[in-house]
């Protein structure tokens, strides 16, 4: 029986990268697309809790959801699909999801949600444009190869993958760690025709530290970057240091308010 693969993205259901991904993965299993009805970039792991969601069947096995990428994966697994998928794949995103920027990424968050739902998952981004159909093909081909390998071998526990593919023809594949962004962000201030001030966030030039072994290092050398991620954000190296602070000394056990808080 053909494995069921849930495909989503954050660029919207009509994005060319999504179409390339769905077609490439159709060689591996039955693909069902559950994607946002419009672009939802940089929404991270947002989940719609205070508004209802609507899912429209646009064509066979293609649903458009008026929510976030995380909504799409959650709704797909628990509401739209008749069985739990064997794999969740997010992308192909137009633009890289590298280094610290993955914390903003709706593409990466969709794969994260798949992992949280107990389904193996990975995200794929084309790091460099142009972002036309043919330029997405190498990323789609690699996604199909990776999908088959995951279906055959599985992933380590509590792990999902973040894949970035360089523009052009990749020369190799590297397993990498998350890189570091150089933050030169700018907030661009403008005046609209009515004389009111408005702002654009993210006006600075995108730059990363070129550290060997990182995702950005691989991309700059024309290599596909495959980064294993997990959700444990604990800084384990800091545990001992913080424990030595003796923070429990500031906890009152008598029921009295701490000094300075009494009327």
Is the model's pTM score more than 0.85? yes
Q: Mean pLDDT across the stretch 24-44?
A: 96
Q: What is the pLDDT of residues 61-86, one digit of tens each?
A: 999 999 999 999 999 999 999 999 99
Note the pLDDT of residue 132.
93
| Distance separating alpha carbons of residues 42 and 183, to the nearest angstrom | 16
Nearest in space to 109 (alpha carbons), one of 133, 85, 125 = 125
If you classify domain 4-179+209-235 with CATH, what class do you get?
alpha beta
Say whether pLDDT at 262 is over 60.
no
Cis omega (within 30 of 0) on the bond before 92? yes
Rounded to a whole number of angstroms, the distance between the first and last alpha carbons of the chain is 71
What totals of helices (H) and strands (E) does the chain contain, helices first?
A: 6, 11
Q: What is the pLDDT of residues 202-245, one digit of tens each?
A: 655 566 777 899 999 999 999 999 999 999 999 999 998 999 99
Give SS3 for 84: coil
Task: Write out the E strands in the chain.
Answer: 4-8, 30-36, 55-59, 62-65, 87-94, 121-126, 160-165, 172-175, 187-191, 197-201, 223-229
**Domain segments of the chain: what residues?**
4-179+209-235
Percent of the chain with pLDDT over 90: 81
Report in angstroms the alpha-carbon separations of 30 from 7, 66, 124, 128, 162.
10, 23, 19, 29, 22
163 touches 126 (CB < 8 A): no
> HSE (CB half, 13 Å, CA atoms) of 70?
16
| Distance separating alpha carbons of residues 239 and 193, to the nearest angstrom | 53
Average pLDDT, the chain: 92
Nearest in space to 21 (alpha carbons), one of 123, 140, 165, 108 = 140
DSSP annotation of 56 reads: E
Q: What is the pLDDT of residues 87-115, one digit of tens each?
A: 999 999 999 999 999 999 999 999 999 99
């Amino acid at each position: 029986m053909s494995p069921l693969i849930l495909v989503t993205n954050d660029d919207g259901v009509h994005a060319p990268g999504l179409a390339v991904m769905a077609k490439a993965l159709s060689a591996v299993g039955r693909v069902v697309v559950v994607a946002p009805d419009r672009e939802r970039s940089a929404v991270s792991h947002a989940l719609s809790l205070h508004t209802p969601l609507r899912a429209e069947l646009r064509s066979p096995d293609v649903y458009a959801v008026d929510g976030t990428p995380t909504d799409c994966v959650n709704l797909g697994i628990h509401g739209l699909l008749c069985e739990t998928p064997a794999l969740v794949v997010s992308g192909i995103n137009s633009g890289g999801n590298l280094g610290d920027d993955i914390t903003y990424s709706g593409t990466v968050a969709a794969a994260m949600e798949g992992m949280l739902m107990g389904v193996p998952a990975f995200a794929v981004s084309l790091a460099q444009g142009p972002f036309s159909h043919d330029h997405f093909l190498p990323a789609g081909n690699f996604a199909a190869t990776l999908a088959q390998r995951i279906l055959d071998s599985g992933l380590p526990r509590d792990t999902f993958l973040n894949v970035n593919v360089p523009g052009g023809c990749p020369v190799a594949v590297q397993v990498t760690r998350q890189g570091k962004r150089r933050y030169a962000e700018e907030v661009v201030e403008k005046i609209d025709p009515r004389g009111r001030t408005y702002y654009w966030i993210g006006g600075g030039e995108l730059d990363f530290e070129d550290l060997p072994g990182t995702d950005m290092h691989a991309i700059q050398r024309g290599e596909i970057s495959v980064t294993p991620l997990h959700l444990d954000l604990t800084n384990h190296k800091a545990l001992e240091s913080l424990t030595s602070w003796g923070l429990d000394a500031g906890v009152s056990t008598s029921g009295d308010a701490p000094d300075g808080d009494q009327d």
